[in-house]
Structure 1
Amino acid sequence: MSKNNIRTYNTETFRDAYMQPEQKLDTILKSDFGKFFIVKVEDLIRLIKLPVPPIRSTTHTFIYLTDGEAIMTIGSETYTIVKHECLVVPAGQVYSFSSLDENHGYLCNFHNDIIIGKFGKNELLKDFEFLRVWGNPRIRLDKQTSKFVRRLLKRILLAYSETGLTNLDIIQSYFIALLCEVNRVYTPISASMQTNAVTITNRFKELLVEHAKTKQRVTDYASELNITPNHLNKAVRTITGKSPTKWIDEAIVLEAKVLLYQSRLSISEIASEVGLFDPSYFSRLFKKYEGVTPITFRKMIETS
């Protein structure tokens, strides 16, 4: 089982695995929902089979709240958003959630194609840092921007509810405007940090998502970035407060958690899959970050 076999869901397979087969779902998700859909958060959450374990998606998810709160784990961090805040899960990022939160708002799920269609271009994707795995997933809106965002989402929902993506021109125009409004107030995690260190750290995070199971030494990533290990260590510590070694360890443990949820592989096999061929070391590393051994973690999954 390779990394490519770790379960990554598109919108259709996520629906089959984690959503209730209710008639109401067919009224809020149109036939072309694999490319784009927008729903009220309060309408969708009650149709999801909880908990949703650590998984990946081929599409982006954007959540904006008008009331209440939402809690989600993205990567190795848990985020809580409230009224006037947004949460973004980029395509390819690991995420999970387990609680039925009391909230109201909007949820958009979309493929890159919805941005780079008739009115967009590939360069637009580079402008929206929050759609990158190293971006800041939590975005706080000021009251004026929140008002604009809410109006845009309401208009997009109306167009989508009427005829789905038959109104693609209208939906795409308003949706790009929505992302631009959010981008205007978006604050990078490292907004006040040194530009060169930020660039190095962001590139390191992108490489880590791609190579966590095969490159597990700081020297591997330093070589990829054509810098010294000391330079990489200093840059990542400055920007994130964590060493590259800790980032690598956390990425390995996250991959292991996905496999513990999604497979029946033995602990030794999972250790091998995440690039650690000493099961004892793997168990110690896992316990260091999760507080329990992989065996205990699996038992917790089975009894939850």
Structure 2
Amino acid sequence: MKRIPQYKPDEFKPILNLDWAGKTMLKKGLNEFFIEPLEVLSEAKTPSQPHRKTVNDFVFIKKGFLEKMVCSDTFAVQENMIILLPPYKIRTFLKNTPDVEGFYCHFSDDFIAEGPGLKYLQDILSYIEIKNNPTLYLDEQHEERIYLILQQMESLYAATDNMELLRLYLFTLLGEIRHFIEKLPKQNLSVNETIALKFRRLITSQIQNLHAVKEYADLLNVSPNHLNKTIKKATGKTASEIITEALLMEAKALLSLPQYTVSEVALVLGIEDVSYFSRLFKKHTGISPSEYRKGIDLSY
């Protein structure tokens, strides 16, 4: 059994029931780059199911409000804010206000591989990972410049197939975000926060293989008791609670995929006892895996 498949952009329709792939955008390299005004969310089906993507994506808010869950944490994105996420992280689009304005954009690593873009992106993602928050509240100067760049990008994307020029605009955009971050106070992590960061990284890559606090403690060369105390101080949650949250997010993402039975979902998660998986899921969600699946539209 494989990990949860990540959606490629031309497979995004089930996420919010928006048929991007059915538009003429497909001929413009939808899987490499895409930008669209947020007004399209008026047609979206929310909340979405938990999902992954093969691309980096970000949302810029000019007016209104939206809410996204990243792994098990919820983030509010308001006016003059950006939320930027790399591939692979589980995300759930929760809701938005009807008047929301701004831009959605996604792009692949390959699209920015040649030139400074990938370095800019890595610097931005490193900062976001350290503070464990993918949102940025922009100052007035950067907000104005970024908004103008996005307007130009959206206009160009709608009118032409000039992907090279769009790539250059994207480099400029990422450069502006990195420039904004460089002016912010440096993030100095405590010992507890450093261990918590390493712990979250391990969970992202190992949750389908490792479920016990001791297994993660061994990888971090600390005792299970020390890991629990450290994570509690840094996050307010125990290591066990964070592991369980991550496991449930994986389960929900898998249950949204019609090709998997409930038994297969348990196996993908490394749980051989399907009854145990069902009890665990119901204990923390209030419903069984089968009941959760019935509430999802799997007709796509």
Which of the five TM-score ranges fits, normalised by the shorter chain? 0.7 to 0.9
C-alpha distance in 1 between matches for 2:233 and 2:49:
32
Structure 1 letter corresponding to 2:69: T
CA change 1:111–1:285 in 2 (3 A) is same
Q: Work out which of the residue numbers 240, 243, 247 in structure 1 matches 2:242.
A: 247
Matched, 1:144 2:141: yes
Residue in structure 1 matched with residue 88 of structure 2 by the alignment = 92
Contact 2:120/2:174, CA 8 A, preserved across alignment: no
How big is each residue's C-alpha offset from its partner over 1:261-300, in whole Å with a ceiling of 9 and x where there is no partner?
Answer: 1135443332232122233332232123222222321222
Q: Work out which of the residue numbers 162, 165, 177 in structure 1 matches 2:163.
A: 165
C-alpha distance in 2 between matches for 1:118 and 1:141:
25
Q: Which runs of 5+ in 1 are unaligned?
A: none
CA change 1:187–1:282 in 2 (3 A) is farther
Q: CA deviation at 1:162?
A: 4.3
C-alpha distance in 1 between matches for 2:207 and 2:250:
8
Matched, 1:31 2:28: yes
C-alpha distance in 1 between matches for 2:258 and 2:139:
43
* 2:115 aligned counterpart, secondary structure: coil
Structure 2 letter corresponding to 1:119: P
Q: CA deviation at 1:51?
A: 5.2
Q: Work out which of the residue numbers 210, 230, 234 in structure 2 matches 1:235.
A: 230
Contact 2:12/2:20, CA 8 A, preserved across alignment: no
C-alpha distance in 2 between matches for 1:281 and 1:229:
23
C-alpha distance in 2 between matches for 1:35 and 1:221:
35
Residue in structure 1 matched with residue 6 of structure 2 by the alignment = 8
Structure 2 letter corresponding to 1:2: K
**TM-score scaled to structure 2, two decimals?**
0.83
Would you say how many aligned residue pairs link Structure 1 and Structure 2?
A: 296
Q: CA deviation at 1:181?
A: 4.1
Residue in structure 2 matched with residue 125 of structure 1 by the alignment = 122
Structure 1 letter corresponding to 2:172: Y
Matched, 1:198 2:193: yes
Residue in structure 1 matched with residue 49 of structure 2 by the alignment = 53
Q: CA deviation at 1:85?
A: 1.6
The alignment yields a C-alpha RMSD, in angstroms, of 3.2
CA change 1:220–1:89 in 2 (3 A) is same
Identity %: 28
Structure 2 letter corresponding to 1:65: I
Q: Work out which of the residue numbers 171, 174, 177 in structure 2 matches 1:176.
A: 174
Structure 2 letter corresponding to 1:167: L
Structure 2 letter corresponding to 1:198: E
Contact 2:65/2:96, CA 8 A, preserved across alignment: no
C-alpha distance in 2 between matches for 1:22 and 1:47:
15
Contact 1:159/1:170, CA 8 A, preserved across alignment: no
Structure 1 letter corresponding to 2:214: T
Q: CA deviation at 1:124?
A: 5.2
Matched, 1:256 2:251: yes
**TM-score scaled to structure 1, two decimals?**
0.82
Q: Which moved more, 1:243-252 or 1:153-162?
A: 153-162
Q: Which runs of 5+ in 2 are unaligned?
A: none
How big is each residue's C-alpha offset from its partner over 1:39-84, in whole Å with a ceiling of 9 and x where there is no partner?
Answer: 2111x32565655322110111110111111122221233322211
How big is each residue's C-alpha offset from its partner over 1:198-220, in whole Å with a ceiling of 9 and x where there is no partner?
Answer: 22222211211111111111121
Structure 2 letter corresponding to 1:14: F
How big is each residue's C-alpha offset from its partner over 1:237-277, in whole Å with a ceiling of 9 and x where there is no partner?
Answer: 22211111111111111111112111354433322321222
Residue in structure 2 matched with residue 78 of structure 1 by the alignment = 74
Q: Which moved more, 1:253-262 or 1:269-278?
A: 269-278
